[in-house]
Amino acid sequence: MFDRILVVTLSNIGDAVMTTPVFETLHQLYPNSVIDIIGDERSSEIFLGAPYLGVTYHRRKKASLWENVRLLGRLRRQKYDLIVDLRTNLIPILLRGEKRLYKRSRTGFSQHSVQEHMSAILPLLNKDFKTPLCKIYIDQEEARKARAAVSIIPQGRWLAVAPGANWPGKKWAVSRYRELIFKLDGQFDAVLLLGIEGDSLEETEKSTTPIFDFTGKTNLSLVKVLLSQSSFFIGNDSGLGHLAASLSVPTLTLFGPGNPDRYKPLSMTSFVLVAPENNLDKLTPDSVFEAMLPHLKKGR
């Protein structure tokens, strides 16, 4: 029995979401255990509200030597029954732990990232164990704080749109997102634009559906609340697509040069559309609209 567990997770939001099956599995195996986390300050917000969550330690990518020494000192005050390192393969060596587990080396580019993370805890599992889907929780205090932002949006069906990505080649053109939104007039009661500053679509006055631009104006906790109340999500290969899917929101992710076999969101309601020749410039609003229609008709 492991009473106190430490997991070193990843800094990228999408990658952090894809570690949640590890947390869910540990919680299933040891339901009374407390799980502490080491993660990036922003991405670790995705774990808020989780029933297993203990202490969250923040570690910056570009932390100074002194910052790392101080963090190490705080961590060494706690003795852990189990330490699982999904990121560094170094921290567990320096901490007080009875058992240490590490992520195994990638066996191939076709392996989904979730399975790669799960490889760290294979020694704890029997051969018939089924990997759970990615799952995140809504923190009730954060949901309360979000009421003011949510209250301005008309009730009904919301379309969440995330036009950003971490590099230009993975971004479908904003003009095409605008055209798609115009084509979807009447399908939703509101459109929510999500992402960082600079992801805004602009020039959306032609839309008869009210559009609420939250780009650059939210933290992850508010984004989780907005997504959890959305009826559909569409976006590029990015962390927000993984967030939406892990909240069981019907999700369509547009892939260009990325690898969907490895990085697609995993849920029962997530779908991908791969651009012709893996080039998002060749993906038309009409083809995306057609890909969305069957899922829109199912309702939510």
**pLDDT band for position 286 (50/70/90)?**
very high
**Over the stretch 238-267, which tens digit does the pLDDT of each residue have?**
999 999 999 999 999 999 998 999 999 999
Distance, CA of 198 to CA of 281 (rounded, Å): 20
CB 39 within 8 A of CB 68: no
Q: What is the pTM of this model?
A: 0.92
198 has a pLDDT exceeding 90: no
Mean pLDDT rounded to a whole number for the chain: 91
Overall average pLDDT of the 128-146 stretch: 92
> What pLDDT, on the 0 to 100 scale, is given for residue 148?
85
Please, what are the domains in the chain?
4-124 (3.40.50.2000), 140-297 (3.40.50.2000)
Find the distance separating the first CA and the last CA of the chain, reported in whole Å: 40
Query: In this predicted structure, what is the pLDDT of residue 300?
Result: 46
- How far from the centroid of its chain's Cα atoms is residue 30's Cα? 24
One-letter amino acid at 125 equals L
pLDDT per position as a tens digit, 154-173 = 999 999 999 999 889 999 99
Burial class (CB in 10 A: 0-12, 13-18, 19+), 170: middle
152 vs 241: CA distance, rounded Å:
24
C-alpha 247/C-alpha 135 separation (Å) is 6
Q: pLDDT by residue (tens digit) across 23-38?
A: 999 999 999 999 999 9
Query: Residue range 105-130: average pLDDT?
Result: 85
